Amino acid sequence: MHFRLTLFLCAATFLSGCSYSPIDAKKNGTPRAETRISKATSVQLTDRDVFGSEATLAVSEEDIQDALGGEAFSVPLNASVILVQSGSRAPEMMMQQEMSKYYLISTFSGIPDTQKSLSCNSNADNAESENMNYMQALRYIAAKGQQKAVIVYWDELQSGKYDTVTKNTVWSGYKNEKFTDATLLRYLVRFALVDVATGEWATWSPVNYEYSVLSPTGATSETQEQQITQLKQKTYAAVVKDLISRYE
């Protein structure tokens, strides 16, 4: 492969004991300074970042049947994995703690390198550069660290209010608005699991849980943060348990 994996600049921070491989000889140049990006404004991982061209290829009936005939995806308990939170330099500690109950985890950035698709060599093959997705890089890092799988998750906190006209709850992304007696909260989580050795993958969106805000009247911003933290803890515990029961 004739591309430069410039997005491995932070690898040493998260993983140790990496062995030498021929691809190491291709890395040169001055490391770029890392830009501090908050999760609220950072770039999220797209399906193409994780699944490459498979997310956009035409799928035939034969492809579907081949997928059904394949081996069931699994990540054994206590396996060594890389955990990634989309849009964050590192997964939230609450999620790390839940995952650590079942796996030996290492963490890596969930902010894709915005220049990964740009070739450093004007003569490089364009198709080869285009096919270099973020998951390919993570699999390489995991292979050097002897990890079994890469687990990526996307999360979103939403607030909802009951619409008396439509008789439905209307949900939207939470934007630090003040809670009212009618406020509901939910924390959506979606997983992607990728086998390091084969590149086979699976996705999982556990059933989400909805929570009524408790005693919002006169609530301070600190109280709201406490309720959001409790919601995350409950949700992480539930969805990780669901994940393990499905893929162990």
Report if residue 1 sits inside a domain.
Answer: no
Tens of pLDDT, residue by residue over 56-113, are: 566 777 777 776 776 778 999 999 999 999 999 999 999 999 999 999 999 999 998 7
Count structural domains, the chain.
1
Q: What is the mean pLDDT of residues 27-54?
A: 59
Tell me the Ramachandran region of residue 78: left when phi exceeds 0, alpha when psi lies from -120 to 50, beta otherwise: left
Question: How sure is the predictor about 13, in pLDDT bands with cuts at 50, 70 and 90?
Answer: very low
* Mean residue pLDDT across the chain: 77
Cα separation, 82 vs 18, whole angstroms: 14
Winning range, highest mean pLDDT, from 22-31, 39-48, 200-209: 200-209
Q: What's the pLDDT score for residue 56?
A: 59
Winning range, highest mean pLDDT, from 37-51, 66-80, 190-204: 190-204
**What's the Cα-to-Cα distance from 45 to each of 21, 49, 89, 155, 167, rounded to whole Å?**
27, 6, 12, 11, 34
Report if residue 121 sits inside a domain.
Answer: yes
The answer, yes or no, to whether residue 114 has pLDDT greater than 70, is no
Report if residue 67 sits inside a domain.
Answer: yes
What token pair was written down for 6?
Answer: 């410039």
Q: What's the pLDDT score for residue 116?
A: 47
pTM for this predicted structure = 0.73
- Structural domain for 220, as ranges: 6-247
Question: Which residues of 20-167 form beta strands (DSSP E)?
Answer: 80-85, 104-108, 149-163
Cα separation, 189 vs 91, whole angstroms: 13
Report if residue 219 sits inside a domain.
Answer: yes
Q: What's the pLDDT score for residue 183?
A: 84
Q: What's the pLDDT score for residue 70?
A: 67
Tens of pLDDT, residue by residue over 137-186, are: 999 999 999 999 999 999 999 999 888 899 899 999 998 888 877 788 99
Cα separation, 15 vs 33, whole angstroms: 19
Give backbone dihedrals phi and psi of 104, rounded to 5 degrees, phi first.
-95, 110
Which residue is it, tokens 């308990």?
A: 77
Cα separation, 40 vs 113, whole angstroms: 17
